[in-house]
Each structure stands twice: as C-alpha cells, then as structure tokens.
A and B are shown apart, each in its own frame.
Chain A
Amino acid sequence: MFYLLRPLRLLMKSLVTQTTPRQLAAGVAFGVLIGLIPKGNLIAITLGVILAASRSNLAIAAGVIVAVSGLSGFFDPQFHAVGHFLLSLPLLQSAWTWLYNQPLMPWTGFQNTVVLGSLVIGLALVWPTYRGSRPLFEKYGGHVAAWASRFRLVRFLFGAEWADRFTGSPAA
C-alpha cells in the first residue's frame, strides 16, 4: 500500500507543498503568459513544455492558466492592435518572412495578430507578475500550506505528522 501511494504522495508534495515563494511566483508568471496566448499553436505548446521543464509550481501555474484564459478574450482588441502593429512594421517584414519560411514556424501562429500581440504582452507581464506575486507568497505561503492541509486527501497522503509539521502542532 505504501509503495502504491508513494508516487501519488510525491506528486501531491511537488504540486502543493515543498515549494518556495519563488517557485510559486514563477508559476503565476508562466500561468499569466500561457493563459493570455490562444491555445492550439506551437507557441502555447512550447511554453507549456518550458513550464513543465521549469521548477515553477505547476499547480498554481495551471490554476492561473485556466483563470487568465477565461479573461484573455476580453483583451483581444488590444492584443490584435499590438500584433497588427508589429506584423505590419516594414522594418520587420524581412524577419517575419524569413521566420515564416522556416520549418514549423507557421505552426507557431506568430503570423496571427492576437497570438503575437498576446505573446508580446504576456512576455512583458512575466517579470512584473513574478516580482509582484513573490512577496505575497513569502508573506502568505504558510497560510496556503495550512489551508491545503485541511483537505482530507492531503492529510491522508502526507500523513498526520507531515501536516502537523507544516502547521507547527504536535502529532496527536
């Protein structure tokens, strides 16, 4: 039983616990970036792979992606304006053309105004988001862990002593 549950316990640990405020903030930053970009293109997939490869907190990233994706549609006009401006820039035409002729590049969807616009804006938001969310996690990280430990599943997987250690109370 122990061996069966161990992988699940480790997965849950990586998702919820044993994360630093930096990893949580990175997760939020990645979540905002991926969430803003329309899905179904190679850019979104690539960013997803990078997110998975990074040591960011995947759980918080997934949550932010879902939340931001729902809101990103409201900002399409702004994304479109930025993307259209960039794709229309004469200075960049040769670069775009060269890029467009490279293998796989058409699959990225960079030639789409909303994709490019949301990518640029998303990239611009990565650092501010990271910097803005990090102090919050540093301040409220403990509360998050305490909140998580209240769930029966978490307590079951991690064991009571793990939960007590995070909450600071001795095991019963």
Chain B
Amino acid sequence: MRWSYVIPRMVIILVVWGFFAFGFDPLLRSSAVSTAQSVTGAKADVAGLTTGFFPPQLEISQVDLASRRHPGTNLVSFERLTLKLGGEALLHRNFVIEEASLTGVRFGTSRADNGQLELVEEEDPGPTIPPWLQDRLRQHGDEWLDDITARTKEKLDPNTLETYRVGNELYTKWDKEFDETNLAIESAKLQYEQIRRNIEAAKDRRPFDQVEIWLQAVRDADSLAKRSQVLLAEFRTRIPKELQSDFGRLNQAQQNDREMIRHSVQLLKPDARRISESLLGDEMYLQLQQLLSWIELARDYQQELKQPESVRHRGIDFEFPLTHPTPRVLCRKMQISGELSQQGGIVPFSAVLTNVTSDPQLLGKPAELHVTTSGKTPVRVVVRHDATEDIPVTRLAFEFTDQSAKTLTAGRPHSHQLTAGLKGMHWSGGLTMTEGQLNGHVQIRSEFQQPQLEIRHRLVAGLGDIVEHSLGEIEQVTARLRIAGKATAPTIDLESDLGDQISDSFSNAYAKFVPVVQEQLATEVNFYVEKQKKKFVDQYGGRFKGLLADQEKLLASINEAKMIAVKLRTGQLDPNRVFRLASDTGVLKGKDQEKAEKYLNQGQRVLDGIRNPQDALMDSLPGLKNKLFRR
C-alpha cells in the first residue's frame, strides 16, 4: 500500500471524525442559539449541547432565553433538556422524540446582563389586556352602590316632594297677587291725592272756576270709587275662595307625596347583575384573560410547528407513499418540571406534554398538556389541542382552590362602601376555541364572610345596618362567567347568586326600612304642610287685612267726594255742605274760613229774603223802614 494513497484518506477520515467529535456539537449549539435569538428577539445562552448517535439523542444544558420586553430578565430558563430520538424514524428522516425531559424550568429569572441583542427603542408591547376586556372592566364599575344611595336619596329627599314644589309655587303666586293688589291700591291713592291737590289748588281761583274744578274732581272721584268698589269686592270674595283652593292643592300634593314615597321605595331594588360584576368581575375577567393567554400560547406553539421547514429553493420534493407514515416532527412525551410564580410566590410544578406534532392529522391524536402545581394553591390545567380534523379545536380546563382570603369592595371609602370577604375560592372552568370562536365558562364557589356596608347619607344611613344584617345570612356564593363568540370581541355574561343575594338583602332591608322612612317622610311632609299653611296665614293674613282696611278707607273718602258730585249734578248743592267739606278737608285757611262764614251768613240772609221778601226787607232796611213808615 502506498503512503501517498493512505495518508490523504486518513487525513479526510480524521477531519470528518474531528468535525463530529469536536465541531458538530458546538456548531449545533451555535445554530440553536441563533434560532432561539431569532425567535425571542433577545439573547439566548446555551451552556452546553451534546449529541449522541447510538442511540440518537440530544442534551442541552442550562439555557437562558432573555426577555426582549423586560431587560435583565429571562423569559424562560431551564437546566436540562434531554431528547431521545427514535432511530428507526430517523432513518426515514422523521424526527420522532420518543421521550423528552425538561427540568429546572423557571420563568422571569434575573440575568447578569440586560439580555438585549442591540439597543433598540422599546416598542410598545401593546395592551396586556385585550380591548374588549378593558371595556368590560370599565363597564362594571362599582357605581351601583352610589347609584342606589343616590336614587334612594333622590326618592326620599323632601326637597323633591310635590308638597314642597306646590308650597313654593303658592308663595310665588300669592306674593305676586298681593303685590298687584297693593299696586292697584297705591295707584288709587295717588289718584285720590291728585283729586285733593286739585281741590286745594282751586282756592286761589275765581268762584266759578272753583266750582268747575270741584265738578271735575267729583267726576274723577266717582270713577275712582267705582273701580275701588270692584277691587274691594273682588278682594273680599275671590281671595278667600282661591286661598281655600290652594290649600286644597297643598293637601292633594301631600297625599301624592305619600303615595309616591310608597311606590318609589319599592322600586329601589338594585340590579343583581351589576352587583355581581362589580364585586366579582375583576377577578373573573382576569382569570378569563389568563385562560385565553394559555389557549393562545398553545395554538401559537402548534402554529409554529406547522410552519414549513426551511424552504428548499432548488427543485421540489416528491412525496411518495410511506408504508408506515409518521409525522416529520413528533414529540410523543415530554416530562417538564420546574418552578413558576403563583400569587407572588414560587411554587414547583410538573407537566406532561404529549403528541405534539407537525402533522396532527397524520398522527390522529390531539396534543395534550397536563400541568399540576404544588404549594398552597395546587392548580390543575389541561390543554388539549385537537388538529386532527380540518378545523382545529383547542380545549382548556382548569381547577384550583385559592385558600387565601380575598376582599370584595364596592364603592369608595368615606362614602358609600360595601366590603366582604371570600375564602376558599374554588375556581374551575373550561374554554373551547375553534377558528377564532370562543365558548366556555369560568366558575367560582366560595365562602362569604364579614359583609360590611357603610352608607353616609342621613336618610339612607339606617338602611346600611339592616342590609348588613341581611348580608350576614349569606354563607356561600357561586359565580359563573360565560364567554361565547369571536375571540376578538366575545360576548360575556356573568351570573352570580351573590348579586341576587345582595339585591335580595337590599330588598329585604327596604321592606323593613320603608315603613320607617315612610313614617319619617310622612311626618316631615305633614309638618311641612302645616308649617306652610301657618306661614302663609301669618305672612299674607296681615297683608290682606291691611290692604282691605286701606281699600275701605280709600273708598270711604272717595264716596264722600262722590256724594258732593251727585249733589252738584242734581243742583241740590248745599253751599254749607260744600264749604263744610272744604273746611273738613283743610282746603280753606283760617282767615278764609272766617270770610267764608261771613259770606255764608250773608248769603243765607239773602236767600231767606228771597223766601220771605217782606221780612227780609224789613230786617235789611231798618233805616229805610223808619224813614218810610214812621210810626
């Protein structure tokens, strides 16, 4: 044998051996790191990768996959992954993992570096809670307690009663009425004063002018007297009648208020659904969100496996029928163990993943993941992804009991607030996802403890104690959240006997509370009505009498003037009466008065002479008589 032949072949063999002995695993490790980094978008550390050919197996140790969204944190890390491949299948170019073991799995562990591949601006990770769930969380605020107290307050607030409204309306009406009457009297007084001023002004005029002015004055007085008489008559007859009618309205409003109070209080039963959503919605919706994220994860994982292999650009592969068809990639069973975060603590978990494959239809079996956690709150989760038919169906079921106490709160501190405790919450649920359609439920069963209701409003404060006592009788609550429809905008329906029980408690409390409130309100209304009436009489009675007296006095003065006018018009004027009136009204001064008396007496004598000329002539002409008839 020639060395020139042997040595090159030996070198080639050595190179090939050397590659598989020292280069293959590092190359594979490098490839694994690149692949992991392209998937996660952050650093991937693989401490070791070892392959074995007889039997074919792969072992990867200490893998840390950094989180892109949380620098300095690992998305997941594990201590060891062992894959035992089926040799027979491998000869046929199928990667069948007969058995796999993944140990030391941990999530969210910290890293020495930030784990980022390059300094890139942090992208908005998007909402961790889908929009439909955010809407849902916003919708079920705990304003129901505010609503119920506000409605109770509104219904029972005396200021909203009809009695108050009518009372205030009457005040306004009668104020206006009396103001108008007062205005009419004042106007009449002014006219009367004007007449007096005219009479007074007439004293400086000639006698005939004076008479004319007086005649005009009495005409005005006559008109004024007529109007005043109408006003007085109306005031005397209409006002008491109308006042009586208004008191009747007030009494009717009182009756209406009593009836309204009776009805309103019965309508104050709170909405059970809103109560359930307010108290349990957050917990249940977030649990639902957790379920959805798990189910999405399962589907995404399956989708990743279904991605076509590295596309071969050169030519096409013919698929010939296989005697024993086997999926290209198949993991029959993988044991997983590690630790995960649960309720702020770290708990160990174990899981079994079976029948994960790139061709579920060929395998004819669904992929399943069974997860069980230990610790205070053991959780059991089963995810079953069935893609054996054309339409894949993913089902998820879970069950756990949360022993920690939860506090339910509705309302706000220092306002209206309902608090209660839940203990031993048993969660269970199931969710099915088919082509973007969701259908499932989340259910809880729990003990109900220590309900406390704090209501600040004066009228409703008494209600709190009664409701609290009634809530104390609730021992257990159950709630069921149903979800159906499109995964992007599902229809969610929360049912719970807690809402019904609390609503019933409020109803029962109202049943006890209503008579008390009714009595209280009836008393308030009665008191108010009486107060209104008294106030009314006090306020308007005096004004009425005063106005009435004014009117009567005015009318008397006007009538006096009217009488003069009547006499003047009929020619039965008694000068003495006129002068007397003028004297009485203070029109003439003292000196003028004396003159008037003098002229009055002279006039009288003239008139007497007219009536008996002989005597008058004799009396008036004593000198002449003596001269003519000397006796």
Contact = CB atoms under 8 A, between A and B. Distances in A.
A14 B93 CA distance: 37
B311 interface: no
A52 B315 contact: no
Contacts of A79: 315
Given A76-B314, A112-B315, A114-B315, A58 B8 contact: yes
A47 B349 CA distance: 51
A111 B314 contact: no
B320 interface: yes
A83 B5 CA distance: 36
A52 B3 contact: no
Interface stretch (A93-101, A129-137, A144-152): A93-101
Nearest to B87: A103
B11 A11 contact: yes
B12 interface: yes
B570 interface: no
Interface in B464-480: none
Interface size classification for chain A: 20 to 34
B7 interface: yes
Contacts of A106: 92-93
B39 interface: no
Given A101-B323, A104-B91, A112-B312, A14 B317 contact: no
A15 interface: yes
B314 A38 contact: yes
A22 interface: no
Interface in B268-321: 312, 314-321
Interface in B523-561: none
A10 interface: yes
B315 A53 contact: no
B4 interface: yes
Nearest to A109: B317
A100 B322 contact: yes
Contact of A80 (B8, B315, B319, B321): B315
A101 B314 contact: no
Contacts of A18: 4
A107 interface: yes
B567 interface: no
A112 B320 contact: no
B486 interface: no
Contacts of B12: 52
A53 B9 contact: yes
A79 B322 CA distance: 25
A149 to B, nearest CB: 17
B7 A14 contact: yes
Contacts of B5: 14, 55
A111 B320 contact: yes
Nearest to B3: A10
Contacts of B4: 10, 13-14, 18
Contacts of A26: none
- Majority secondary structure, A binding face: helix
Contacts of B317: 111-113
A29 interface: no
Contacts of A87: 318
A38 B316 CA distance: 13
Contacts of A115: 314-315
Contacts, number: 72
A80 B317 CA distance: 10
Contacts of B88: 103
Nearest to A6: B3
A31 interface: no
A117 interface: yes
Contact of B318 (A38, A76, A96, A101): A96
B318 to A, nearest CB: 5
A103 B92 contact: yes
Given A18-B4, A52-B9, A55-B5, A100 B320 contact: yes
A7 interface: yes
Given A14-B4, A106-B92, A111 B9 contact: no
Interface string B313-356: 01111111111000000000000000000000000000000000
Nearest to B313: A76
A113 B93 contact: no
Contacts of A83: 315
Contacts of A7: 7
A97 B7 contact: no
B316 A113 contact: yes
A117 B322 CA distance: 23
Interface in B496-536: none
Interface in B1-42: 3-5, 7-9, 11-12
Nearest to B13: A52
Contacts of B314: 38, 73, 76, 80, 112, 114-115
A14 B2 CA distance: 10
Interface in A63-94: 73, 76, 79-80, 83-84, 87, 93
A105 to B, nearest CB: 8
A59 B322 CA distance: 41
B3 A112 contact: no
Interface in B430-453: none
A59 to B, nearest CB: 9
Contacts of A103: 88, 91-92
Nearest to A51: B12
A114 B4 CA distance: 36
Interface in A115-158: 115, 117
A156 B537 CA distance: 139
B109 to A, nearest CB: 38
A97 B11 contact: no
Given A10-B3, A52-B12, A115-B315, A107 B93 contact: yes
A79 B9 CA distance: 31
A111 B318 contact: yes
A96 B317 CA distance: 12
A158 to B, nearest CB: 12
Contacts of A15: 8
8 contacts: A7-B7, A38-B314, A76-B314, A87-B318, A104-B91, A111-B317, A111-B319, A115-B315
Interface of B: 3-5, 7-9, 11-12, 88, 91-93, 312, 314-323
The 5 closest A-B pairs by CB, nearest first: A114-B315, A103-B91, A106-B93, A113-B315, A14-B4
Given A18-B4, A83-B315, A103-B91, 14 more contacts: A7-B7, A10-B3, A10-B7, A11-B7, A38-B314, A38-B315, A53-B9, A79-B315, A96-B318, A97-B320, A103-B88, A111-B320, A112-B316, A112-B318
